[in-house]
Structure 1
Amino acid sequence: MLSESSDIFALTVSERLDMVAALRDPNRLVEPLPGGLTNENFKVTTATGTYVARLSRPSSHLLGIDRDGEYRNSLAAADSGVAPAVVAYAPEAAVLSIEWLEGRTLTAADLGSTEVLRSVAESCRALHSGPSFSADFDMFDVSNRYLDTIMARGFRLPDRYLDFTPAWDRIRTVLSMDAPAAVPCHNDLLAANFIDDGARLWLIDYEYAGNNDPCFELGNMWSEANLGDAELVVLVDFYYGEHRPDMVARARLQALVSQYGWTLWGAIQQSVSSLDFDFWAWSMEKYERAVSTFEGPHFADLLGAVATGPRTAPTATEFRSTTEKEKSQ
């Protein structure tokens, strides 16, 4: 894994692109793409085609991003049929290139549409029934590593953050009870990671991909889009193909896990990123939402609903079997 002091980050974009054979063209057109908080992203047009080049930033290792794992998981996701093909990976240049997709990037407002949520559920099911990823993703473990980084480096921590450790531990215990089998999850489904080509939704950017509880995927996406309770029910029901109050409760609890855990991601970025972006405000928005649930009147009820709900979620094998049957119909 490249460290923040690696000499590669002193090179220009052009010099790094020249290190990737598929992108090496003296007449190439390089256009910056918006977004990207841990990468610089470019549309690269050469004589052979149009591609996306993702250039890692130096702080990636502090966020636990495994670029080799991202490459392997991008390949697996492409095999599932919901992600663009990988064109090239050059770890010595910290560059991953994927095929360019013509389409529209979704917004959070788009995700409030029932039909869009149906497509999101279908794309998630396809990814989740595809090849397993190279490692697991557990937000409890990830947040522990983030917290260790913050403490070791003296980064700013939100006020009272550690006061919720007992509740955090209770959540972990409840979610571990008869948990659904882990499936290959994206784990970072912001609206900007969906591309609509007019016929289907594609899922892009697999930095945080890993095998995980599917309800984390659903809850995290719901939280990132700031959707309402009704939309969570719609999303979960589309995903499972029936009304599942137990899985709605589980996804809602995983949304809380997402908010509390990603808060620390933002705290690290605020301390190390050179981007002109208010990571602290981003972090606090998530933290305040988490606190409102921790201290709200329904937190105990939510824990109880997950702890006592029916344990009828499909296993990974059953889930893949069901998905394959649907594809053949």
Structure 2
Amino acid sequence: MRSRCIGSAVDERKLIQLIPELRGRSLTVSPLGGGLTNRNYRIDAEGKSYVLRVAGKDTVLLGIDRAREVACARAAAELGVGPEVVAYLPEHEALIRRFACGRALTVEEMQQPAVLSRVVEALRRYHNGPPGAGTFSPFATVRKYHALARTRQVTFPDSVGPALERLAAIDQELQADDSPCPCHNDLLAGNFIDDGRAIRIIDWEYGGMGNRFFDLGNLATNNDFADPHERTLLALYFGEVRPDDLRRLHLMRLVSDMREAMWGFLQAAISTLEVDYLAYGRKHLERFMNATSRN
């Protein structure tokens, strides 16, 4: 889910001088594209590379807890599945991490069994790691996004009411399922960096203790998995494809689309980035409605 220059309110070079590891060094700063929420910069300093991430406007309304994000990112680094966090400046909501060498995966690559096997290995290692900071519920997140967007006079499609009712039914169906584990909760292909040897996961803004099936469903829907890809995903993760696991995966794919829809509608009200968030929200809402109508 997730540059444009930061603007006069924040000078990225002044922020860099607050970081002991970078202060006074010869460096270059280049904007990184692709962000839908924050401003991101690559810093090259005397043979080493870093990423500076400065939070976008009002991201706390998206349920993003920056201290929790940093804790999750550090946990991922300790487990070998994320780049090292170099510094965090809470008063500026700025994070500096090592630049993850390699390239971001594409949707097409994520569907390849050999690549997916390595992705699953990294994700499962994080899921099986020690309990982490904070919690994440996609159901509570959708309800919060919807309420906040309403208070900001966002115009919703007529289908939003029935969609929320269908989401509540899915919530009831999944209530007794898995105990929480550390999760990422925003598994876009671009959040996986492949250096040819290892997969590293970046952008831990929505990280927290959650349901592993939301991560798996989110991964599947963000990367356009068809039935064979879903079965490969479950076989790689669990060692077998059980009907009940497939059921939970399918339900969490639906939930993922609903989270993306409400995220888009709320971003339309709060973001200053030049992105058509309403179109993004409508696309995911329509996909949720179409899929739940078939079930």
TM-score of the superposed pair, with normalisation by structure 2:
0.93
Identity of aligned residues (%): 35
Question: Matched residues in 2 for 1:118 and 1:28: separation?
Answer: 37
The separation in 1 between residues aligned to 2:20 and 2:146, in whole angstroms, is 39
* Structure 1 runs (4+) greater than 6 angstroms displaced: none
The answer (yes or no) to whether the contact 1:78–1:86 under 8 Å persists in 2 is yes
Give the structure 2 partner of residue 247 of structure 1: 245
Listed as ranges, the matches of 1:60-99 within 5 Å are 60-99=59-98
Paired position in structure 1 for 2:137: 138
From 262, 284, 288, the equivalent of 1:286 is 284
Do 2:126 and 2:182's aligned partners in 1 also have CA atoms closer than 8 Å? yes
What corresponds to 1:223 in structure 2? 221
Instruction: After TM superposition, give the deviation of residue 9 of structure 1 in Å.
Output: 7.3
Moved more, 38-47 or 83-92: 38-47
2:40 aligned with 1:41? yes
- Residue 27 (structure 1) shift: 2.4
Higher mean C-alpha displacement, 277-286 vs 110-119: 277-286
By how many angstroms is 1:129 displaced?
1.0
Q: Is residue 79–residue 131 contact of structure 1 (8 Å, CA) maintained in 2?
A: no
List gaps (5 residues or longer) in structure 1. Answer: 1-7, 300-329
The aligned counterpart of 2:258 is: 260
Which has the larger Rg? 1
2: distance between equivalents of 1:264 and 1:28? 40
For residues 86 and 164 of structure 2, the distance between their equivalents in structure 1, rounded to whole angstroms, comes to: 43
Residue matched to 1:213: 211
| CA shift digits 1:136-190 (9 cap, x unpaired) | 110011111111211211122233201233322211111012x112110111010
1:105 aligns with 2:100: no
Shift of 1:90: 0.7
Local SS of the residue matching 2:115: helix
Query: Residues 88 and 9 (structure 1 numbering): CA distance in 2 closer, same or farther, change over 3 Å?
Result: farther
Aligned length in residues: 289
- Relative to the length of structure 1, the TM-score reads 0.84
Q: 1:23, 1:44 within 8 Å by CA — same for their partners in 2?
A: no
Query: CA offset at residue 65 of structure 1?
Result: 0.8
Q: Give a deviation string over 1:242-298, Cα, whole Å, max 9, x none.
A: 1222111101100101101221111111222222222222222211110011211xx
Alignment of 1:166-181 (within 5 A): 166-177=165-176, 179-181=177-179
CA RMSD of aligned residues (A): 1.6
Residue 225 of structure 1: how far off its partner (Å): 1.2
Give the 5 Å matches for 1:9-28: 10-25=9-24, 27-28=26-27
